[in-house]
Structure 1
Amino acid sequence: MTLLDLQRYEFIQNAVLNIGTMDSTLLKGLTVLEHLAASEAPRGVSELARVLDLTKSNVHRTLQTLVAAGYVRATPAGTYECTLKLFELASSVLARVDVRQVAERFMRSLADQTQETIHLSLLDGADVIYLHKIESPQPVRAYSSIGGRAPAYCVASGKALLAYQEEALVHLPDPLPTYTPRTITSLDMLRHELEQVRVQGFAINRGEWREGVCGLAAIVHDALRKPIASIGISGPSDRLDPAALRRFSDVVVDSARGLSRALGYNPIDLAPRITRTGAMREPA
């Protein structure tokens, strides 16, 4: 190996080492930032070092960098918390997110799997509004229109939303208006069903809005963990009988979760920790 070859080899080796160091430093910084963002109270250097399995000096340097960049600030008590710069960044990203556009592929997939009509719905007072839909290819199908409304407590999409936005119940009278023999008729009965929705992860309409039309829906969350929409299926009761509703519950819930993730929703902190050596370690 010539001197020039040796110099080139050393240059490449040093570059690789520097890249590895920069990547490790960046990951440590992001891990500290994510932990602070998820914390309900400011955190100190020692606590962060213990929880993230980093040295105190490493955490202190990382925090000083984040402070200089404007993402973190020190409190009078000597702890650290996130500034609103993260919110500003997130807001600019969220402003570009079109729920309907993002939902399209999940709705198409759900339509292919179920062969039923698919709705993306929003809550407006005591009603749901159909933001988007994909028609069933079946000759007999549930009728609805984009922009149409339905009483939230009578349809699966509405109950999925009400389960996570119970403050909307103030818009409802008691007793509740009856549309079919299966309509829920009191707020107590509705609250009991909404609790079941939260436990099982999906809502069911058993012909409560229109006789002979059933449905199944699950909640969609955004990046701020807010319930913003529901996605679900509807169709004739002779096709969507109890056995079919049970069979389709998993695919509807999976579609809602996939859409939520595509909108930036993260129900738990899945960020891997970084050891003192810079190696990645999955959370327990």
Structure 2
Amino acid sequence: MDSTLLKGLTVLERLAASEAPRGVSELARSLGLTKSNVHRTLQTLVMAGYVRATAAGTYECTLKLFELASSVLARVDVRHVAEPFMRSLADQTHETIHLSLLDKAEVIYLHKIDGAHPVRAYSSIGGRAPAYCVASGKVLLAYQEQALVHLSDPLPAHTSRTITSLDTLRQELEQVRVQGFAINRGEWREGVCGLAAIVHDAMGKPAASIGISGPADRLDPAALRRFSDVVVDAARGLSRALGYNPIAQSPRPIHTGASG
């Protein structure tokens, strides 16, 4: 493992996640590195064009990161194809709509459409959340169970409703596969609920999840039941638009010639 490269990427990730420029001392303290190490790393990133120094002596990321991300996003067709389905879902539910991907133990919000209500769930494109705590993540885990190796047991609790047992999570994921959608009952943020369904690609593999989120007082159990059909329909429509054919992907019976 190249420790120098790893430190550089760690500093870059911390800067990218910061809402404001950061100083050498602050970065060193938050990352557990020496100031000289952080300073050398920042100078290398500046020379490479990923970071720039401000007049105040702090550092911030340049748009070079955005250029790289845009190149990656351009190859993710699901974001472009999903737009009309997300718009339709937003019109039907008036809640915030998310298109999400799974990255190890976390869900990443690839795209979103804000809800029409003045009070809505806060999130941002590129933001992350623990997959086992949110509906979009749970439905992805249900169809990509190999990702469970990235989870600890017990699972960290974020609210009083968080599932903290891996066995309990596995049982819920089984239920998700049976019913076709996942629910978040305030497990990541107090008072924020959600519902999501899986999106398949042309090969029948899980490509993303599409779902809704909003305050628990609006997305109560009755509302979640009411919206489950429209969310599942949106996911199926998007899957078909990506080339998914559930009939072609389903196992075909083997005819042996025997009667009866």
- Structure 2 equivalent of residue 190 of structure 1: 169
Deviation at 1:269, TM superposition (A): 3.2
AA of the residue aligned to 2:134: V
Helix, strand or coil: the match of 2:237? helix
Give the one of 218, 231, 240 matched to 2:210: 231
AA of the residue aligned to 2:193: C
Deviation at 1:228, TM superposition (A): 1.2
Structure 2 Cα separation of the partners of residues 188 and 96 of structure 1: 36
Q: Within the alignment, does 1:128 sit opposite 2:107 as a pair?
A: yes
Helix, strand or coil: the match of 1:109? helix
Structure 1 Cα separation of the partners of residues 132 and 75 of structure 2: 31
Q: Within the alignment, does 1:259 sit opposite 2:208 as a pair?
A: no
* Structure 1 runs of 4+ with >4 Å offset: none
Q: Within the alignment, does 1:110 sit opposite 2:92 as a pair?
A: no
Structural mapping, 1:1-284, within 5 Å = 98-269=77-248
Q: Deviations over 1:139-197 (max 9, x none)?
A: 10000000000000000000010000000000000000000000001100000000000
Deviation at 1:268, TM superposition (A): 0.9
Deviation at 1:214, TM superposition (A): 0.0
Alignment check: 8 A CA contact 1:97 1:263 kept: no
Deviation at 1:96, TM superposition (A): 6.9
TM-score by length of 1: 0.61
Structure 2 Cα separation of the partners of residues 236 and 170 of structure 1: 31
Structure 1 runs not aligned, ≥5 long? 1-94, 271-284
AA of the residue aligned to 2:172: E
Q: Deviations over 1:84-105 (max 9, x none)?
A: xxxxxxxxxxx97711000000
Structure 2 Cα separation of the partners of residues 140 and 268 of structure 1: 41
Deviation at 1:267, TM superposition (A): 1.0
Please report the RMSD computed on the Cα atoms of aligned residues, expressed in angstroms. Answer: 1.3
| CA distance 1:96–1:209, change in 2 (3 Å) | closer
Percent identity over the alignment is 86
Structure 2 Cα separation of the partners of residues 249 and 166 of structure 1: 22
Q: Deviations over 1:60-117 (max 9, x none)?
A: xxxxxxxxxxxxxxxxxxxxxxxxxxxxxxxxxxx97711000000000000000000
Helix, strand or coil: the match of 1:129? strand
Structure 2 Cα separation of the partners of residues 192 and 96 of structure 1: 35
Structure 2 Cα separation of the partners of residues 153 and 96 of structure 1: 27
AA of the residue aligned to 2:90: A
Structure 2 runs not aligned, ≥5 long? 1-73, 250-260
Larger RCO: 1 or 2 (CA < 8 Å, sep 6+): 1
Helix, strand or coil: the match of 1:269? helix
Deviation at 1:217, TM superposition (A): 0.0
- Structure 1 equivalent of residue 56 of structure 2: none
Structure 2 Cα separation of the partners of residues 222 and 96 of structure 1: 14
AA of the residue aligned to 1:222: D
Q: Deviations over 1:221-269 (max 9, x none)?
A: 0001000100000000000000000000000000000000000000113
Structure 1 Cα separation of the partners of residues 192 and 75 of structure 2: 36
- Count, aligned residues: 176
| CA distance 1:178–1:97, change in 2 (3 Å) | closer
Structure 1 Cα separation of the partners of residues 208 and 229 of structure 2: 18
TM-score by length of 2: 0.66
Q: Which of structures 1 and 2 has the bigger CA Rg?
A: 1
